[in-house]
Each structure stands twice: as C-alpha cells, then as structure tokens.
Amino acid sequence: MSNIKPYIALLKSRLSITVAFSGTFGYILAPIKHEPLGLILISLAGFLLTGAANIVNQLKEIPYDKLMKRTANRPLPTETLNSKQASIFGYMLVLAALALLFYFSWKSAALGFLSYLLYGYVYTPLKRVGPISVFVGAFPGAFPPMIGWVAATGHFGWEPGILFAIQFFWQFPHFWAIAWVADEDYQRAGFKMLPNDGKKDIKTAFTIMIYTLFLVPLGFIPYLLHMAGITSAIITVIAGTLFLCQTFYLMMRPTDKAARWMMFGSFLYLIIIQIALILDKI
C-alpha cells in the first residue's frame, strides 16, 4: 500500500475529482437518456485525464516545486518517485482516458487530448512567463463540461459553448485568488500569475472584478437555451452576483484574507451553479 500512495499523490485527487465532476455535469445536462455505465465512464475519463495532465505539470516543475512550501513534499521533489516512473504512469493514464472518451465519440477524445496538451505543455511553462498563462490555462480548465456534453451528444453547439464560457470566465477570479494567496510561494519559484505587474493592489482586484462580471449575465443563458428551468437561472445569477460582491470587497480591502475568502467563494460558486442546473433539469 505504501508503494501506491506516491502514485495516488501524483493525481492530485481533490482537483481531479472536481474536474471530473465538471465533465459529468456537462454529460448529465445533455438531452439524452443517461445510463449508469455512461455516467461512470465519463467520470472516470475526466479523473484519469486530469490526473495525467497533473503529472505532466509536476514533471516539468520539479525544481520549482522544491522551492515552494506547499509543493516541496510531493513525490517528485522528494524523489519518492523518479521522473521515469511518473512519466510511464502518466502516459498510461492519458491513454486510458482517451480510450474511454473515444468510446463516446472521436470529438470528445480530440477535445480531451487538446485539453491535456494545453494544460501540460503550454500553460505549465507559461507560468514563469507572465499572467498570459492564466488566459491559456482557462481553456483546458473550461473544457470539461463541454467534453461531457460532446461525449453525450456527439456534436458541438450553443449549449456546450455556454457551459465552456461560464467555466472559462470563472477561471480568472479562481486562478487569481489562488495566486494572490500563494503569491509569496509562487515568487520563490518564479511563477508570474497575477496581472498588473504581479501587484496585490486595487488594480489587480479591479481586473479580477471585470472578468467576474461576465458570470452574471452568462448564468441566465442556459435558461434561454432551454437547458434548464427558471429556478436554476435565478440561483445562478444570484450566485454570480454574490461572487461579484466578493471582488468589490477585495477592491475595498486588497488583503490576503479577502482573497482567501474569494478563493473559497470561487469553489462554492461553481458547485452551486452545477448542482442547481442538474437538479433543475432532473
């Protein structure tokens, strides 16, 4: 069992489960008859694909992870596992994930592979370049619900597009709240995530607010597209408005404490709207 633990740690299970749920969320919203096997397979595919992308991320950041308190004890910086072991495990995961997605459709597999490449091989190295990394990282971060929908239906459209858009704009306040809180650690590793020259000030808080603002009107569009009822639309708009209020608070008090509350708020927002849309559809 002790030999398995480092491999499990590589998966970043909490993150992988969250992303897998987003993919399952998109699958459930699709207008098809849902079978238990389909739900299990799409959830597993999302979990494995995210785990594989996380491994690429960790392989490329071994020297930087050693410098940060929150990552120094990971399997690769501590040499509990070596790069070859992690690479083989990661390749096995991505192949299994893509095979599962291909079971649904080649389009969902193609999206999954693109997401894997963007996160592991584009977003990861850009973290030391500048906040452009957050823009690039927002794409694979927003793919899961779209992949779920395309896996269920086999085609694109306005519906998966709006699911992508909501999660895309959500990425910015989510990423930047985390970057604000972890700024000292990130600076040790040379990661440049925050906008406006990386300063934790009102300008950065204002930038976060602008991106969050999009979530309020976007939350109403699933209702207009007949993806769910008015109840979820009201809940989603209210959740977006409350999330936006957190950015106003950050503008008034640009502190780590306010950013930490916003980080928690970002997780809560996504969970609330996804559950609301699922329950309203059911």
Pick the last residue of a domain from 104, 129, 154. Answer: 154
Enter the tokens of residue 124: 């990861």
- Looking at the fold, whether 171 and 213 belong to one and the same domain comes out as yes
Residue 11, amino acid: L
Contact 111, 147 (CB under 8 A): yes
195: region left, alpha or beta (phi > 0 left; psi from -120 to 50 alpha):
beta
pLDDT at 1: 47
Residues with Cβ within 8 Å of 50's Cβ and at least 6 positions away in sequence, in order, are: 11, 12, 15, 16, 19, 20
Average pLDDT over residues 166-172: 96
pLDDT above 90 covers a percentage of the chain that reads 80
- Looking at the fold, whether 237 and 282 belong to one and the same domain comes out as yes
- Looking at the fold, whether 140 and 232 belong to one and the same domain comes out as no
- Looking at the fold, whether 162 and 143 belong to one and the same domain comes out as no
- Looking at the fold, whether 84 and 196 belong to one and the same domain comes out as no
pLDDT exceeds 70 at position 183: yes
Pick the last residue of a domain from 116, 138, 154. Answer: 154
In this predicted structure, which of 33-37, 40-44, 148-152, 256-260 has the lowest mean pLDDT?
Answer: 33-37
- Looking at the fold, whether 57 and 137 belong to one and the same domain comes out as yes
Q: What is the CATH number of the domain that holds 40?
A: 1.10.357.140
- Looking at the fold, whether 124 and 8 belong to one and the same domain comes out as yes
pLDDT exceeds 50 at position 278: yes
Calculate helix-pair angle for 256-281, 230-252, nearest 10 degrees.
180
pLDDT at 2: 57
| This prediction's pTM | 0.92
State pLDDT tens for residues 41-71.
999 999 999 999 999 999 999 999 898 888 8
Q: Where are the beta strands (DSSP E) in 113-216?
A: none
pLDDT exceeds 80 at position 107: yes
Number of independent structural domains in the chain: 2
Contact 57, 120 (CB under 8 A): yes
Secondary structure (3-state) at 41: helix
Residue count of the chain, please give it: 282
Pick the last residue of a domain from 92, 124, 154. Answer: 154
- Looking at the fold, whether 119 and 187 belong to one and the same domain comes out as no
- Looking at the fold, whether 161 and 272 belong to one and the same domain comes out as yes
- Looking at the fold, whether 87 and 120 belong to one and the same domain comes out as yes
Domain encompassing residue 5: 1-154
Chain CA centroid to CA 274, Å: 13
- Looking at the fold, whether 233 and 171 belong to one and the same domain comes out as yes
Secondary structure (3-state) at 249: helix
